Amino acid sequence: MDQALQHLVNGTVLGGTYALLGIGLTLVFGVMRVVNFTHGELYAFGAYMTYAGVSLLGLNFYLSLALATLLGMALGASIEWLLLRPMRKADIDSVMLVMIGAALVLQNGEMWAWGGVAKLIPNPFPGTPLVVGPVSVMPLRLFVLVVSAALLLGFWLLLDRTRIGMAMRATFQDPETAALMGVRIGWVNTATFAIGSGLAAAAGALLGPVFMVSPTMGDLVGLKAFAIVILGGLGSLPGATIGGFALGFVEEFAGGFVSTEYRDAFGFLLIILILAVRPQGLVPAKERIG
Amino acid sequence: MNALFAWGFVAALAALPLVFPDPYLLAVLTSAGIFIIGAISLNLLLGYTGQLSLGHVAFFGLGAYASALATLGFDIGIGFGWRVVLAPQPVWLGFLAAIVVAGGFGWLLGRLAFRVRGAYFVIITICFAQVLRMVALNWVELTQGPMALISIPPFSLWWPGQGVVPLYRKDQNYWLVLAVAVLAFLLVRQVVRSRIGRALVALRANEPLARSVGIRVTHYLVIAAVLSAGIAGAAGSLFAHYVRIVDPDVFLFIYTVTMVIMVVTGGKGTLWGPVVGGLVFGLMPDLLRGTAPPEAQWIIYGAAMILFVMFLPRGIVPALARRLP
């Protein structure tokens, strides 16, 4: 029981960052109909920028996190402007191919710039775990959870309360009608992609200090982001949040009770199962899938 | 492209080791050839059915592992104290096993994945390859995990004047790969020109319409997936017995991407597309070697993919075909 409680806590911490990743990806798909293969690379980019801020420039840890997120947004906006804007009329498969090409360039650019050796980001948190009853958690991970939760909340407020949020929701439902109502779709797309990329970069910046930073760190994470999004239903924002936590719990519990080695495989098996049984996901968005 | 020119091209390739017996050149062409076979098989799905299958390396890897394991033999526990034991088999049986195993998984994936389309299909295929990679990494008893399967025997074939011999020489392996590539090309050509191929092209053009005139869409898609997977499995087997070491990295997404780039730049849905694209991108790494860091190769691959899709979406072969009379 105690062990289960510990897994529950770990799963929540993991799930928070997964939710950030999933929301960014599903938002881009929902609004722009783009399957964003660069998502994992933006995650790695966020982690590297945090490393650069803390270790190379000697900046404050929290400032580096914020800067990394902003730079991620800027990179996302430029990808949208450079690659996606000219491809707006193209079919979904062609856009996917372009994004795979972009991911390849980004990942190997990172490899070139930083070398293949994994890097460690120093953080100001104490290395001793907080112990509450039977459960222990590292302060850094707690910080990660709190910031993820704050970002999730901020994102919901942005979507729910602001003009750009309303424009995004309108485009999500029907781009053509939104355009007729005076929504500037081009702007919405750039903003969407920037926000989605910013969320990925934030997740990378947050998890970078927890794990190591390496050029290929985006690979698995990018695929996991797909898993989360599929789990919740492609294009569904509540689905991605639930999917993020669900994947966190599945990995944590299956890793703890079934097999540690196959920990990462459970997520993918889950996707294949979900797609075979319930392809619309847990919380389906309105969309044709078959 | 007319048949005379095509056979001339094959004859020139076949004569190459006699004219330039440079082992380095032959090694480069052999590994390019293995990937071209993979690209030819991928083209059947990507080009002719129009389904963006991004798990193709799964079949390549399955073929490599199946063939390697069949020729090395294995002894594994499957729970309840039962064991499955296989004595080492001859390589040609391994080659067949590779085709059958990969084709079988092609059927399975086809049945599962073709229930959905578009982004969903793409993601399910990627996940499939990823799960296989995890299995290869972690089922150490069978696959040796990251320690890799080593000492895989080379292909052995009947050779004029020598009887059945293992193929250690570069030129022998080169001819073997060339022969399989030609067979794969002819097989895909036959399929594409058959009833199956017409059904595939019809459903690529307009799936609801194809369905409405009575084409059993899923049935034909699964046939294409099985054939495509089987050929990719054969390529994997060639790879295993040529490189003679197989590790879980054969399932890396990057190899699928390499095959996709070959098909897309060459011209998807054209018979010669994967061959032309495969030659360009199969030879490029070796042309770059020494002058640029390895990352540069992938950056060029990525940039080429972007530029081709944006500016020459139909690929090199259709563009050339329009220029020629």
pLDDT (tens digit, 9 = 90+) per residue, A162-180?
Answer: 998 899 888 888 888 888 9
Q: Answer yes or no: is pLDDT of B215 > 90.
A: no
- Which of B118, B257, B306 comes nearest A83 by C-beta? B306
Residue numbers in A near B299 (CB within 8 A): 104-105, 108-109, 112
CATH number at residue A235: 1.10.3470
Question: Quick check: A269 and B131 CB within 8 A?
Answer: yes
* Predicted local distance difference test score (pLDDT) of residue A288: 42
Give pLDDT, residue A286.
55
User: What mean pLDDT is predicted for residues B148-164?
Assistant: 78
In a domain, A231, yes or no: yes
Residue in A108, A261, A271 closest to B123 by CB:
A271
What pLDDT does residue B82 have? Answer: 79
Mark yes or no for CB contact B309/A234 under 8 Å: no
Task: Say if CB B323 and CB B279 are below 8 A apart.
Answer: no
Would you call A275 and B123 a contact, using CB atoms and an 8 Å cutoff?
A: yes
What residue numbers bound the domain in which A184 lies? 2-277
Q: What chain B residue is nearest to A215 in terms of C-alpha separation?
A: B295
Tell me the shortest Cα–Cα distance from A146 to chain B, in angstroms.
31
- What span, in angstroms and rounded, lies between the C-alpha atoms of A140 and A161? 31
Q: At residue A290, does pLDDT exceed 50?
A: no
A109 in contact with chain B, both atoms CB, cutoff 8 A: yes
CA B17, B20, B24, B28 torsion-angle sign:
negative
Is B302 in contact with A108 (Cβ distance < 8 A)?
yes
Instruction: Judge: A94–B306 Cβ closer than 8 Å, yes or no.
Output: no
Alpha-carbon gap, residue B33 to B184, rounded angstroms: 11
Distance (Å, rounded) from C-alpha B105 to C-alpha A129?
46
Lowest-pLDDT range, A81-85, B189-193, B205-209? B205-209
Share of chain B above pLDDT 90, in %: 28
State residue B169's pLDDT score: 81
For residue B133, what are the CA distances in angstroms to A45, A166, B113, B249?
25, 42, 18, 7
Q: Which residues contact B277 (CB under 8 A, 6 or more apart)?
A: B39, B261, B262, B263, B264, B265, B266, B267, B315, B316
Name the range with the highest mean pLDDT among B3-17, B106-120, B144-158, B185-199: B185-199
Is A111 contained in some domain? yes
Residue of A86, A101, A111 with shortest CB distance to B303: A101
Distance CA(B48)–CA(B46), nearest Å, equals 6
pLDDT at A281: 66
- Alpha-carbon Rg for chain B, nearest whole angstrom, is 20
Percentage of the residues of chain B whose pLDDT score is greater than 70? 99
**In the prediction, which pLDDT does A289 show?**
42
Calculate mean pLDDT across residues B245-258: 89
In this prediction, residues B160-185 reach a mean pLDDT of 84
Q: What is the pLDDT of residue A218?
A: 84
Q: Which residue has the higher pLDDT, B89 or A73?
A: A73
B116·A279 Cβ contact <8 A: yes
Nearest CA among A85, A84, A91, A73 for reference residue A36: A84
> Hey, what are B128's tokens?
């499939």
pLDDT, mean over chain A: 86
Q: Is pLDDT of B80 > 80?
A: no
Amino acid identity for residue B55 in this structure:
G
Q: Which of A87, A100, A227 sits opposite B310 (nearest CB)?
A: A87
pLDDT interval class at B51 (50, 70, 90): confident
Higher pLDDT, B320 or A101: A101
pLDDT tier at A279, thresholds 50, 70, 90: low
Which has the higher per-residue pLDDT, B291 or B183? B183
Element (H, E) at A21: helix A2-32
Does A25 reach chain B within 8 Å, measured CB to CB?
no
CA distance B260 to B286: 19
Q: How close B24 gets to chain A, by Cα (Å)?
A: 26
Going from N- to C-terminal start, the domains of chain B cover 28-252
Number of domains in chain A: 1
**For residues A191 and A163, what is the distance between their CA atoms, to the nearest angstrom?**
12
| DSSP character at residue A213 | B
Q: Which of B176, B144, B133, B21 is nearest to B74 (CA)?
A: B144
State the pLDDT at residue A203. 92
Q: A164: helix, coil or strand?
A: helix
Q: Which residue has the tokens 């578009």?
A: B118
First to last CA, chain B: 11
In a domain, A284, yes or no: no
Residue at A63 is within a domain: yes
CA atoms of A28 and A34, how far apart (whole Å) = 6
DSSP structure class, residue A119? B
Q: Is A258 within 8 Å of chain B by CB? A: no
Average pLDDT over residues B252-281: 90
SS3 string, chain B, reads CCHHHHHHHHHHHHHHHHHCCCHHHHHHHHHHHHHHHHHHHHHHHHHHHCCCCCCCHHHHHHHHHHHHHHHHCEEEECCCCCEEEECCCCHHHHHHHHHHHHHHHHHHHHHHHCCCCHHHHHHHHHHHHHHHHHHHHHCHHHHCHHHCECCCCCCEEEECCCEEEECCCHHHHHHHHHHHHHHHHHHHHHHHHCHHHHHHHHHHHCHHHHHHCCCCHHHHHHHHHHHHHHHHHHHHHHHHHHHCCECHHHHCHHHHHHHHHHHHHHCCCCCCHHHHHHHHHHHHHHHHECCECHHHHHHHHHHHHHHHHHHCCCCHHHHHHHHCC
Terminal C-alpha separation, chain A: 42
Tens of pLDDT, residues B96-135: 999 999 999 999 988 888 877 777 888 888 888 888 988 8
Cβ of B120 within 8 Å of Cβ of A275? The answer is: yes
What value of ipTM does the predicted structure carry?
0.84
What pLDDT does B142 receive? 83
Rounded-to-integer distance, Cα B113 and Cα A289, Å: 12
Q: Look at residue B203 in the predicted model and tell me its pLDDT.
A: 86
Q: How far apart are CA A68 and CA A20, in angstroms?
A: 15
Select the more confidently predicted residue: B145 or B191.
B191
| Letter string b/e over residues A81-91, b meaning 16 or more CB atoms within 10 A of that residue's CB | eebbeebeebe
Q: Is residue A282 included in any domain, yes or no?
A: no
pLDDT digits (tens, 9 = 90+) for A118-130: 888 888 888 788 8
pLDDT of B312 > 70? The answer is yes
Q: Mind listing the pLDDT tens digit for each residue in A43-102?
A: 999 999 999 999 889 889 999 999 999 999 999 999 999 999 998 888 888 898 899 999
Instruction: Check residue A221 and give its pLDDT.
Output: 85
Q: What are phi and psi of B158, to 5 degrees?
A: -70, 130
Residue A148: which of A10, A253, A5, A14 has the closest Cα? A14
Q: How far is A18 from chain B (nearest CA, A)?
A: 17
Which residues of A fall within a CB distance of 8 Å from B258? none
pLDDT for res A99: 93
pLDDT tens profile A183-199 = 888 899 999 999 999 99
